[in-house]
Structure 1
């Protein structure tokens, strides 16, 4: 079992970079920052043992839950994921649980025992949705798949970004494994599961991004999350706030565009 489910790896990276700047050797720390807390040995080699131990301490209060129902090529979805959700998760990782459900406004039909999908922004969006569903399934840990999906969604081409994003953020996962999932029965079933999960939303989604906070969706929560998710998470958390919330040393991410992709 991992020593710690990552924690805010950008902050750990900053801490280790500061140590290096002060002349402290990193030793055998050859892994990317988001993996530094995955074992005691690696944390020791990267000189972040104390930070990892602090983040691994049990919490008395449950983290804030944010579920994002989205589609890979929707501009509003890409804006929210890139400008609000991912930066907030990096800064408040220890008090925030994120669930990603790529499907959105797609529609499915079953022919000869196989599911077929019609996506709002065309076949490329279906491919992007399935790639991200496969990444979530194959990597399992949000600390591993979320950086890859952020890299894809924040770049110039979502589908075309997969290979370079894998090389940077998840080199342990081969492109062949992702391709096999996307083209095979596994990817088809994963998309069907996302379709079922999206259709089961109450209230039923009318647009994407569709944001569910602590199991609840309201237009007010949606509007606040789209504008200032960082502040919303700090406000909703019932336990002791991390320093990013308490001291407001880190500014909230830039507001996301307020448009949406309406269900058709």
Structure 2
């Protein structure tokens, strides 16, 4: 099965079971809301509490009290990991659900949630790795902008960072499907993804371009993005991975 065949099969599977994909997409949408909303709410509440104690001058309070500053940093790390856990578990569960639907099985809403929570640690590690890549490739541009005050250098570093990030995400396109479908460890999923992409490079490039074009057409409308584009894209990638492995 090549890139186009996996996309065609995903479309066919979607049209045969729109209701099943709708339920899975709804679970994924709710999960992403929790992944964004719950940690953000905790962050906002903690800032309000700190603001009340610091009379609005939070940085001075944190820098003047080392213990409080350390506790605050640990609390921020916990909030980030909580977000990464829910986001990663949601993505992994959605991949698993889309793959099951493509195979003719219809996972229930509770089964999808249970799968995501039980396997959340594996997806948490992958999510943290993806966020680390974003930081590694984009931080140089931010640092140069803040300290060098050279717009040209900052823009050049930003473009290089975006390009490197796109390449890294391309090489890791099979990481989440591998972890979700074959229960591969995070490191194993990364290694397998890079090996599969490099061994099927032309088809992977065609697939990535096709999905980007589809996203440009269907993505701008939120409801279509959530309930049409996302399930088709996830199913296509799951089927493409299944054949590539």
Shorter chain as denominator, the TM-score bin is under 0.3
Q: Between Structure 1 and Structure 2, which shows a larger proportion of helix residues?
A: 2
Report the TM-score when normalising by structure 1.
0.26
The structure having more radius of gyration, on CA atoms, is: 2
Q: Between Structure 1 and Structure 2, which shows a larger proportion of strand residues?
A: 1
**Which structure carries more relative contact order (alpha carbon 8 Å, separation 6+)?**
2
Report the TM-score when normalising by structure 2.
0.27
